[in-house]
Amino acid sequence: MIVGAVYFGVCFYFAAQAVVVDGRRGIAALERSGELVRGGWWRVFGIIVLIALVAAIFTTPLRFLHDGVVYVIATVPATALSLSFTALAGTILFFDLRARKQLDWRSERRSSTSQRDQPGPEPTTA
């Protein structure tokens, strides 16, 4: 069950970006996210884990603060920095995946067009 949740969490990680950038809504946004992740799930998973680890660097030291006032004063900017970093890194990864898919699509289209335009073998008559 946890494996399925992680799998779908990675597949649908970019749904918010698909809504804002691509203008997709609901299921279409989830499908777009899955489309971008398809073929590179492990790469995307690794980058998301790396993003989470870097974001944790901002907030983990706060666990050692025991004074309530200092904790609250330090937590607000650290959490804001951590969440901003996560959102920005995820959006940059979204644009990276989007650009890679467009390049793949264009190169496939270009190769199919060039193959179609190339003359075939000369017919032989017997």
List, for residues 81-95, the tens digit of each pLDDT value: 999 999 999 999 999
What per-residue confidence (pLDDT) applies to 70?
87
- Judged on CB neighbours under 10 Å (0-12, 13-18, 19+), 77 is exposed
Neighbour count for residue 115 (Cβ, 10 Å): 9
Give me the mean pLDDT over the 24-38 stretch.
95
Segment 52-87, tens digit of pLDDT: 999 999 889 888 888 888 888 999 999 999 999 999
What is the pTM (predicted TM-score) of this model? 0.77
CB-based contact 33:11 (threshold 8 Å): yes
Q: What is the C-alpha to C-alpha distance for residues 78 and 63, in angstroms, rounded to an integer?
A: 12
What per-residue confidence (pLDDT) applies to 39?
93
Q: What is the C-alpha to C-alpha distance for residues 47 and 81, in angstroms, rounded to an integer?
A: 19
